[in-house]
C-alpha cells in the first residue's frame, strides 16, 4: 500500500471509530491531560502503529488497546495526577452532558477515582465488551478481568454509599 492509500485508509478508519478514542480519552481527562491533548496523542500513536496492524484482532480492539495504553502511560509519567475529578469536568469531557442524569454523573465521578487499570476495565465493561475482548485489549487473563470487574464494582458501590 502506498503512502497516499495508507493515509486515506487511516483517516477513514479513524473517522469511523473516533467515538472509541473520545470515550477512552474522556475517562482520563484532567487538568494535566486535557481532552484535546489526549486525543492528539492517541491519534499520533495510532498513526505510528497503523502500518503494522495485521488484522490479528478487530480494528476496534486494536484502537482500544492503543488508546488505553496511551492514556495510562501518560498518567504514569505524571506524578501529580489528581485523586478524583469534580463532576463539573465531566460536562466538558462527555459528548452529551445534558442528557446525563445526576446519578450517571455521580457514577462517572466515582469511576474517575478508580486506579487507571480499573478505570480502563470499567470503561470496556460499560461498552459491553465481553471478558475475552477486555482481556485481549488490556493484556490480562479472562479470570483476572473477571476479578478486577468484581472488585471495581465493589469499590464503586462503597464509594456511592459514602
Q: What is the pLDDT of residue 9?
A: 92
Tell me what pLDDT residue 2 has.
77
Q: What is the pLDDT of residue 88?
A: 43
Measured between alpha carbons, how far is 93 from 26 in angstroms, rounded to an integer?
5
Task: Find the angle CA(43)-CA(29)-CA(139) to the nearest 5 degrees.
Answer: 60
Q: Which domains does the chain have, with CATH numbers?
A: 1-82 (1.10.1740.10)
For 91-144, the pLDDT digits (tens) are: 344 444 455 578 777 888 888 889 988 999 999 999 899 999 999 999 999 999
pLDDT digits (tens, 9 = 90+) for 42-101: 999 999 999 999 888 899 999 999 999 998 887 655 544 444 444 443 334 444 445 557
Amino acid at each position: 500500500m502506498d503512502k497516499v492509500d495508507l493515509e486515506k485508509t487511516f483517516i477513514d478508519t479513524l473517522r469511523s471509530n473516533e467515538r472509541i478514542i473520545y470515550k477512552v480519552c474522556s475517562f482520563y481527562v484532567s487538568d494535566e491531560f486535557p481532552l484535546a491533548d489526549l486525543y492528539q496523542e492517541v491519534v499520533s500513536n495510532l498513526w505510528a502503529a497503523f502500518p503494522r496492524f495485521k488484522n490479528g484482532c478487530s480494528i476496534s480492539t486494536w484502537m482500544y488497546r492503543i488508546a488505553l495504553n496511551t492514556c495510562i502511560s501518560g498518567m504514569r509519567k505524571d506524578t501529580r495526577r489528581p485523586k478524583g475529578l469534580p463532576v463539573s469536568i465531566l460536562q466538558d469531557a462527555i459528548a452529551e452532558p445534558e442528557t446525563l442524569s445526576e446519578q450517571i454523573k455521580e457514577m462517572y465521578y466515582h469511576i474517575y477515582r478508580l486506579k487507571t487499570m480499573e478505570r480502563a476495565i470499567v470503561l470496556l465493561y460499560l461498552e459491553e465488551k465481553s471478558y475475552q475482548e477486555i482481556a485481549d485489549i488490556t493484556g490480562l487473563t479472562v479470570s483476572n478481568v473477571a476479578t478486577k470487574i468484581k472488585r471495581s464494582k465493589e469499590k464503586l458501590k462503597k464509594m456511592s454509599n459514602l
